[in-house]
C-alpha cells in the first residue's frame, strides 16, 4: 500500500506542477502585452522603412497601451536584423519590419542565411516600385536617353545602390545586362547617402523610392526616368514603368511587412496581426506608405506566406538570368 500511496502522491504533485507550468504562459498571453515591445528594422534612421516603422509603432503603442520602440539593426542586407529577431524569445515582444531583402537574400545567396520557416509572417504592409533617378545636370530626360548616354561612355560612369545584393543593386545589374551598359556599381549604407552623391554629381544615377526623391524632383535637381513593377503607381502616375519602355523583366516590385519569431503563441500572433492591420488602416500610416510610393495591402497569414514563396521564386529567376550573386 505505501507504494500505491506514494505513486498517487507523486501523480498529484505532478499534476500541480503541470498546471503551474502551463497556467503561467496562458496567463501571460491573456495579459499581453504587459511591457514595452520592439520592432527591429534593417534600415538607417530616416529611411523609408524606418519612417514607416516609427509611424506604425506610434499607432500600435497608443492602441496597446505599451511603448513600441524601434531598434535599427544594420548589416548584410537585412540578415543581421532577421537573425536578431529569429533568435529572440518567441513571446511577441520582438517584431521585425523588413523589406524585399528578406526574400532576395534567399534568392541570391548560396549559404542560405536563414529560412522562411524561422519567422511567422504577420502582415504585408505595402508593395512598391523602385525608381531610377539621375541628376538634372546630366541632361537626359528619358530612359532611352540615359541608356544612350551611358553607352557612349563605357566604363566611365557609376550608379549608386543602398547595399550589395540590395534591390537597387539587382536592378542596376539587370539594366546593365539587358541594355549592354558598362557602368560601375557603388554600394552605400542607405538610399539617402547614394542620393546625396547623385545630387552632387559624383554618380550618374541611383535607385530608390519615389517618395524620398520627389522633393528633389520638384526642386529641379533630380529626374526620375522609370519605375519598376507591372504598372504605374496611382500616386506617381506621371512616372513611366520600365515595362512600358521596353524592359518587361522589370515587372518585379518591392514590399515591406511585419514578422515575429517561429514559436510565438497563436493568441499573441492573432493579437499582433490585428494591431498591425489596425495601425496600417490609420490615415497616418497610410499616408507614409503612399508618400514613399507604396500601395497599402494588408495581406496576412497564409496568403502572406504564399506571397513570400512566390517572391523568392521570382527573385531567384531574375538572379540566375542576370548572373547576380551576393557571395
Output the DSSP codes for 124-174: EEEEE--EEEEEGGG---SHHHHHHHHHTSTTTEEEEESSTTSHHHHHHHH
Looking at 14-28, 149-163, 280-294, which range is the least confident one?
14-28
Distances from the Cα of 199 to the Cα of 64, 142, 148, 194, 207, angstroms: 42, 18, 21, 9, 13
Q: How many CA atoms lie within 13 A of 270 on its CB side?
A: 5
Residues 207/176, Cβ–Cβ less than 8 Å = no
Given this model, what pLDDT does residue 17 score?
A: 43
Q: What is the largest CA-CA distance in the chain?
A: 98
Q: What was the pLDDT predicted at 140? A: 97
Cis peptide before 20 (omega within 30 of 0): no
pLDDT, residue 8, reads 53
Q: What is the spatial distance between Cα 59 and Cα 187, in angstroms, rounded to a whole number? A: 34
Residue 267 DSSP label? H
Q: Where are the domains of the chain?
A: 32-128+254-321, 131-250
- The CATH topology of domain 131-250 is D-Maltodextrin-Binding Protein; domain 2 (3.40.190)
Average pLDDT score, the chain: 90
Residues 32-128+254-321, CATH architecture: 3-Layer(aba) Sandwich (3.40)
Q: Is 186 helix (H, G, I), strand (E, B) or coil?
A: strand
pLDDT tens by residue, 94-134? 999 999 999 999 999 989 999 999 999 999 999 999 999 99
In the DSSP assignment, the letter for residue 239 is: S
Residue 93: closest CA among 113, 62, 118, 64: 64
CB atoms within 10 A of CB 254: 23
Q: Is the pTM higher than 0.85?
A: no
What does the alpha-carbon distance between residue 261 and residue 229 come to, in Å, rounded to a whole number? Answer: 30
Same topology, domains 32-128+254-321 and 131-250? Answer is yes
Amino acid at each position: 500500500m505505501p507504494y500505491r500511496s506514494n505513486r498517487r502522491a507523486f501523480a498529484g504533485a505532478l499534476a500541480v506542477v503541470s498546471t503551474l507550468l502551463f497556467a503561467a504562459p496562458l496567463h501571460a498571453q491573456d495579459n499581453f502585452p504587459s511591457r514595452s515591445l520592439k520592432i527591429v528594422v534593417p534600415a538607417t534612421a530616416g529611411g523609408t522603412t524606418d519612417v514607416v516603422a516609427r509611424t506604425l509603432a506610434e499607432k500600435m503603442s497608443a492602441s496597446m497601451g505599451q511603448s513600441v520602440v524601434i531598434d535599427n539593426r544594420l548589416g548584410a542586407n537585412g540578415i543581421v536584423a532577421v537573425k536578431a529577431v529569429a533568435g529572440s524569445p518567441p513571446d511577441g515582444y520582438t517584431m521585425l519590419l523588413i523589406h524585399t531583402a528578406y526574400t532576395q537574400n534567399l534568392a541570391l545567396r548560396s549559404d542560405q542565411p536563414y529560412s522562411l520557416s524561422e519567422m511567422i509572417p504577420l502582415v504585408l504592409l505595402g508593395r512598391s516600385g523602385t525608381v531610377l533617378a539621375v541628376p538634372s545636370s546630366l541632361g537626359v530626360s528619358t530612359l532611352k536617353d540615359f541608356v544612350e548616354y551611358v553607352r557612349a561612355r563605357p566604363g566611365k560612369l557609376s550608379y549608386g545602390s543602398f547595399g550589395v545584393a540590395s534591390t537597387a543593386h539587382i536592378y542596376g545589374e539587370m539594366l546593365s545586362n539587358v541594355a549592354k551598359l558598362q557602368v560601375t556599381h557603388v554600394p552605400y549604407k542607405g538610399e539617402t547617402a547614394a542620393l546625396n552623391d547623385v545630387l552632387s554629381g559624383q554618380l550618374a544615377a541611383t535607385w530608390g523610392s519615389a517618395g524620398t526623391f520627389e522633393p528633389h524632383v520638384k526642386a529641379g535637381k533630380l529626374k526620375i526616368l522609370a519605375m519598376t513593377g507591372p504598372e504605374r503607381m496611382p500616386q506617381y502616375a506621371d512616372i513611366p514603368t520600365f515595362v512600358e519602355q521596353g524592359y518587361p523583366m522589370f515587372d518585379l516590385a518591392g514590399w515591406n511587412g511585419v514578422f515575429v519569431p517561429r514559436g510565438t503563441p497563436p493568441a499573441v500572433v492573432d493579437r499582433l496581426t490585428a494591431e498591425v492591420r489596425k495601425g496600417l488602416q490609420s490615415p497616418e500610416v497610410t499616408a507614409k506608405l503612399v508618400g514613399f510610393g507604396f500601395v497599402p495591402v494588408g495581406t496576412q497569414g497564409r496568403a502572406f506566406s504564399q506571397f513570400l514563396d512566390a517572391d523568392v521564386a521570382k527573385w531567384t529567376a531574375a538572379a540566375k538570368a542576370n548572373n547576380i550573386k551576393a557571395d
